[in-house]
Amino acid sequence: MSISENIRRIRSQIPENVTLVAVSKFQPAEKVKEAFDAGQIDFGENKVQEMVNKAAMVKSPVRWHMIGHLQRNKVKYIAPFVHLIHGVDSAELLDEIEKQAIKNDRIIPVLLQMHLSGEESKFGLSEQELLAILVKNTASTYPHIEIRGLMGMAALTHDNRIIRSQFRSLKVLFDRVKSDYFPLQTSFTELSMGMSSDYAIAIEEGSTMIRIGTAIFGERQY
């Protein structure tokens, strides 16, 4: 199936208020353009250099999501234009994002990435680390950062019960963090969870943002 057919099919399966992020990592800019022509606006990349290159080739209104691990020394390259940084997993990274947001005279939206057990990636915060960040008043510590929600990846397993229970725990945590730390803010709204293999479960468990690569673009050529 073509990219546009894949996008149409996935959109027809998900609620309208769920954001579809097309993960274009390892895909050439032409494929981003093809998806954009099919009405896709949100794109995810996991490497800074690749995002910067494609952003130069495919002009806005594309919204670029950084979904991978972000090194502090590379924040400056995406700070001028990035739409949402999903993978924030340390106070040091928040410090750097704040600094670069000031330099670019903008507010940068981020999600805090949680580490769910059994997941392939070693990145992400434990619950304890998350709370250590949140107890410092983030709104006053980081006036140029908008914490918009949480992100997580389920374990690499074919056991749907495990995947579902991990998504469910993340949603419980999300609701608790929202009521404890962002009760008055209407901006803490996003729960980024779900990829090609598990987005249906993620949406049933409360995802507001799914990150889909292969189900849109086909297998990646590494």
Ligand X SMILES: *Cc1c(COP(=O)(O)O)cnc(C)c1O
Q: Which residues bind ligand X (CB under 6 A)?
A: 23, 25, 46, 67-68, 153, 195-197, 211-215
Q: How far is the CB of 136 from ligand X (least distance, A)?
A: 26
Rounded Cα–Cα distance for residues 193 and 154 (Å) = 8
Nearer to ligand X, 154 or 181 (CB): 154
Nearer to ligand X, 4 or 197 (CB): 197
Distances, alpha carbon 208 to alpha carbons 21, 77, 157, 203, in Å: 11, 27, 22, 7
Nearer to ligand X, 47 or 164 (CB): 47
Report residue 206 as tokens: 């409360």
Nearer to ligand X, 133 or 210 (CB): 210
Q: How far is the CB of 217 from ligand X (least distance, A)?
A: 8
- Residue found under tokens 């040091």: 92
Q: How far is the CB of 163 from ligand X (least distance, A)?
A: 13
Q: How far is the CB of 46 from ligand X (least distance, A)?
A: 5
Q: Let me know: does 145 contact 183? Beta carbons within 8 Å.
A: no
Nearer to ligand X, 100 or 113 (CB): 113
Q: How far is the CB of 94 from ligand X (least distance, A)?
A: 19
Rounded Cα–Cα distance for residues 57 and 60 (Å) = 10
Nearer to ligand X, 130 or 154 (CB): 154
Q: How far is the CB of 143 from ligand X (least distance, A)?
A: 28
Closest chain position to ligand X (CB):
213
